[in-house]
Homo-oligomer: A and B are copies of this chain.
Amino acid sequence: MKTFFPKINKIAYEGPDSRNPLAFKHYDPDAMVAGKTMREHLRFSVAYWHTMKGTGADPFGGGSLLRPWDASEDPMTAAEDTLRAAFEFFTKLGVDYYCFHDRDIAPEGDTLAEANRYLDRITALAGTLQADTGIKLLWNTANLFSHRRFSNGAATNPDVAITAYAGAQVKKMLETGHALGAENYVFWGGREGYATLLNTDMKRELDHLARFLHMAVDHARAIGFTGQFLIEPKPKEPTKHQYDFDSATVIGFLRQYDLLDHFKLNIEANHATLAAHSFEHDLTMASINGLLGSVDANRGDLLLGWDTDQFPTDLYSALYAMLVILEQGGLGSGGLNFDAKVRRDAFDLEDLFIAHIGGMDTFAYGLKVAARLIEDGVLTDVRRKRYASFDSGLGAEFEAGRLSLADLENYTLENGEPIPVSGKQELLENIINQYLIGG
């Protein structure tokens, strides 16, 4: 059996003191934290497009990363090699999940029928490899943005023939996901947006998008697929404006078009920050609406204006994310998918392992610290006390909808100037640091 990472052994947990770059310092999959194993909490997933298919290309240069699994000149051989390399990678890394697009895992064909035949061959192999390894499909999706036909969108394309093509791809991917036991199906609105308002009928495009999503829901029901549907917000890039701008926008859209029962959100760190939100903001917005379904775990560079998709190594960010996730009782069928890519100059194959190890350790550490913060009740106590005036008396009446503005006026006339209370932001930031660096 061909091996693609002959120099890499299975990555082991060696603890915080290990100096081995190819070992986990914090991710100990079967260690218990807050009542579950780390593996159950974190549900890590590898993104096929970046890790297996990423070339290092950017707008200023072609591929820089030469991969042994991509060496064959025959596209189907390369696709099969890539899939085998992927499962070797997943296994050695020790993740339980992976995610893919149709056009990552199998080549584009000259016709839809041909592309679908390619897909069938490859996904048959994927099924075998899943069975052999126990690795599961967190989610799959259709690539509705790379081909030139989708330059002006897919579900929101002004030409119904292109929307039809997109629908055909989604149908195939739903069926593929169903066959492979996918736990979710994701929509990322690649080019669902506009380049200029001058030629755009935004109302009609949004109506089309909703119609398209309803058709996907109907098809899933028809074939018996019961995985969770997810929408992944992103505000811009490649289009000037993407319709799925951020959590709040997507939630509003789902409610407006009667899709709330069928969809949750897949929040990506770098997409949140491109929308001028913190990662934890968009996670919280989704979570308080009962709609946080899954996470694309990566990191942007807040000084840059594009999706850098870096591996998540910011400990604060991982801590804040795990706080939201633990507080809502976990991600359900979702997981932490590393939608992240090594840098253009990460020429060594081991860099792929090192990058994932870094991301996994970062979230494992975030999990441990979040669990301690929650166990100690630090932030929950602060919040509970802060809003206590709404737990009884006037506040409870207010929340119950039993007051009028006249009641509020009377209260104020009788009670005079209220005394504002410190928000204690500085103290809370110090506490976060203390938990983060131990002690």
Contact = CB atoms under 8 A, between A and B. Distances in A.
B149 A112 contact: no
A136 interface: no
A434 B25 contact: yes
A74 interface: no
A409 B422 CA distance: 45
Given A60-B190, A288-B203, A386-B199, A112 B398 contact: no
Contacts of A249: 246, 248-249, 252
Interface in A187-215: 190-191, 195-204, 206-208, 211, 214-215
B199 A382 contact: yes
Given A207-B399, A406-B219, A434 B16 contact: yes
A423 interface: yes
Contact of A199 (B202, B358, B407, B424): B424
Q: From A161, A404, A421, A425, name the one whose CB has the most chain B CB atoms within 10 angstroms.
A: A425
A187 to B, nearest CB: 13
Contacts of A131: none
A313 interface: yes
Contacts of A51: none
Contacts of A218: 404-405
Interface string A179-190: 000000000001
B420 A25 contact: no
A251 interface: yes
A379 B240 contact: no
Nearest to A248: B249
A285 to B, nearest CB: 7
Given A56-B148, A219-B404, A426-B342, A164 B411 contact: yes
19 contacts: A61-B150, A61-B238, A62-B147, A112-B413, A151-B347, A159-B420, A161-B412, A163-B408, A167-B407, A168-B411, A202-B285, A208-B390, A235-B276, A302-B302, A343-B426, A345-B422, A351-B422, A365-B433, A437-B437
